[in-house]
Structure 1
Amino acid sequence: MKIDLYLESLDAALNLPIHYNYMIQSLIYDTIGDELSSFLHDFGFIEEKRSFKMFTFSRVMGKYQIMEDGQRIYFNGPVKIIISSPMVEFCNSLINQFIIQGKVRIGKNQLQVMEVRSKKVIVKENEVSFRTLSPVVAYSTLLRSDGRKYTCYFQPGESDFERLLERNLRKKYNAFYKKDAPEGEVKVRVLGQSRLAVINYKDTIIKGYSGKLQVTGPRELLQMAVDSGLGSKNSQGFGCVEIV
């Protein structure tokens, strides 16, 4: 299910640091209720020692201006955030609380909830074209010769990018539904030009790519991509996609 959250700042403008993912994630955790928030934050859905939170969210969408120092972004007028998850309880809790509270806080900004819309997007084919609403991340943690770990990020068009996206979708499906993912390869083709995004999330640099992707594979895995996100680090604000 996807939630379209429409907000308007009660101040002159929505004033955020350029790297604001953690603030949006905190808004979601603060809104869904203590029990569900604790479960997702502390445990999540486990598969092969990996924990999946099973939600993702878009960048903040609206008219904006980046300050000259490049460190802050100002949104003038209404903004929209899309939140997506396969968890019915999660989505219902967010929708209800947004409506009941009527206001939310992002960092030091207080905003009025103008409208909340929800919709279930159903994948009907084994091939879909996605537009990214937040950058897609594919990475591996490798070892240097001296034993130190480092992170290698992959870009659309590389075989490792496709391989990691498929593996991630299968693990999320297994973790959420408690059964093996359906057979069939997942293939990814880049449509147009991809754009690199470098995000600082809690002092960790994360690299992702935005653009359009044509993804072919089992319909159930494509549905998982729509609902929970494509690629890694979804609950940190990466891999939110929409069908075009």
Structure 2
Amino acid sequence: MRITLELSLRKRMVTLPVNNSHLLSSLIYNIVDKSSSEYAERLHEQGYRLQNKAFKLFTFSPLYLPNRRKWEMHDDGTMSTTERLLHLVISSPKSEFIEHLVVGLLHEPFVSVGKERFRVETVRRLDQPALSGDMRFIALSPIVCATKHTDDVYAQYLFPGDEEFERVLCENLCRKYEALYTRPYAGDNSNFRFTLDQNYAERKQGKIRKLITIKEGKPEETKVKGVLAPFRLEAPAELMEVGYECGFGERNSQGFGMVKVDES
């Protein structure tokens, strides 16, 4: 299930860090906390566990402007806009998460993203698209895929074309499926295929890999690498739905791996 928030500015211009996904993640937890502090804490600290791995089972889009307008970027790592309305899409297959999110917004119609404050003008549920075993998607935020072998000190980021990319991406979806439904995925995923939109990659001159800094300038600063491009996915419809609702790849609750259906 997806909902979109329409946020209005409380002043003439709003300025945010370019790397603001951690601020949006905090915003979501704060909204949920207004409904149930117990659930918000459990979601943040434990999530939905599968053995030694915890999944939050939600993701969200970047803050975007209507009418395809773009943010004004600045050399100091910030971006600004005078556009009156901004949109944020939040996605999760867990009805309890969506319910707490909506109830939290009813308690407090004003929300903060970092130091900026917005009024929530509308909360709207989006229709679920028909998902089949062969879909084309547009990545709204970078898809992060990584693996760590026994001898590795740090996780190794993977990208489309790397030998293990499809396997790791598919296994991640299967684990999220099991965390969501509390049973292993038993379908046939042997024909799992991820194909980048090569025309898009050529137009971007191959610059589709993104380096995102989380909590920049803080002790817990983390740099994350992902791919941001349209793609075609051939996969079982059950896994397709998990990816669409929870996000593809890793770090979904930090705002990575959200997609929309490519209707072009």
Match of 2:218 in 1: none
Q: Deviations over 1:203-240 (max 9, x none)?
A: 11001111111111111110000110000000011001
Distance 1:123 1:217 in 2: 14
Deviation at residue 168 of structure 1 after TM alignment: 0.3
- Tell me, yes or no, if the aligned pair for 1:137 and 1:233 is still in contact at 8 Å: yes
Deviation at residue 142 of structure 1 after TM alignment: 4.1
- Tell me, yes or no, if the aligned pair for 2:131 and 2:240 is still in contact at 8 Å: no
Q: Which range is displaced more, 225-234 or 184-193?
A: 184-193
Distance 1:31 1:73 in 2: 24
Match of 1:31 in 2: 31
Aligned with 2:80 (options 64, 74, 92): 74
Q: Deviations over 1:93-130 (max 9, x none)?
A: 21232244221111111101122111242444111111
Deviation at residue 16 of structure 1 after TM alignment: 0.9
Distance 1:57 1:76 in 2: 23
Aligned with 1:126 (options 129, 133, 140): 133
When the two structures are superposed, what TM-score results if normalisation uses the length of structure 2?
A: 0.86
Check if 1:102 corresponds to 2:109.
Answer: yes
Secondary structure, counterpart of 2:135 in structure 1:
strand
Match of 1:170 in 2: 174
Distance 1:154 1:230 in 2: 13
Distance 2:225 2:131 in 1: 31
Distance 2:81 2:249 in 1: 28
2:24 maps to a residue whose letter is I
Deviation at residue 158 of structure 1 after TM alignment: 2.4
Distance 1:182 1:143, change over 3 A: closer
Match of 1:199 in 2: 212
- Tell me, yes or no, if the aligned pair for 1:123 and 1:219 is still in contact at 8 Å: no
Match of 1:182 in 2: 186
Distance 1:95 1:153, change over 3 A: same
The structure richer in strand per residue is 1
Equivalenced residues, count: 240
- Tell me, yes or no, if the aligned pair for 1:123 and 1:222 is still in contact at 8 Å: no
- Tell me, yes or no, if the aligned pair for 1:137 and 1:231 is still in contact at 8 Å: yes
Distance 2:235 2:106 in 1: 37
Distance 2:212 2:161 in 1: 21
Match of 1:149 in 2: 153
Check if 1:233 corresponds to 2:246.
Answer: no
Distance 1:16 1:127 in 2: 37
- Tell me, yes or no, if the aligned pair for 2:57 and 2:93 is still in contact at 8 Å: yes
Q: Which range is displaced more, 1-10 or 113-122?
A: 113-122
Q: Which runs of 5+ in 2 are unaligned?
A: 216-220
Distance 1:79 1:142 in 2: 41
When the two structures are superposed, what TM-score results if normalisation uses the length of structure 1?
A: 0.93
Distance 1:159 1:75, change over 3 A: farther
Check if 1:216 corresponds to 2:219.
Answer: no
Secondary structure, counterpart of 1:115 in structure 2:
strand
Deviation at residue 137 of structure 1 after TM alignment: 0.2
Task: Give the aligned CA root-mean-square deviation in angstroms.
Answer: 1.6
Aligned with 1:53 (options 52, 56, 61): 56
2:43 maps to a residue whose letter is L
Check if 1:161 corresponds to 2:161.
Answer: no
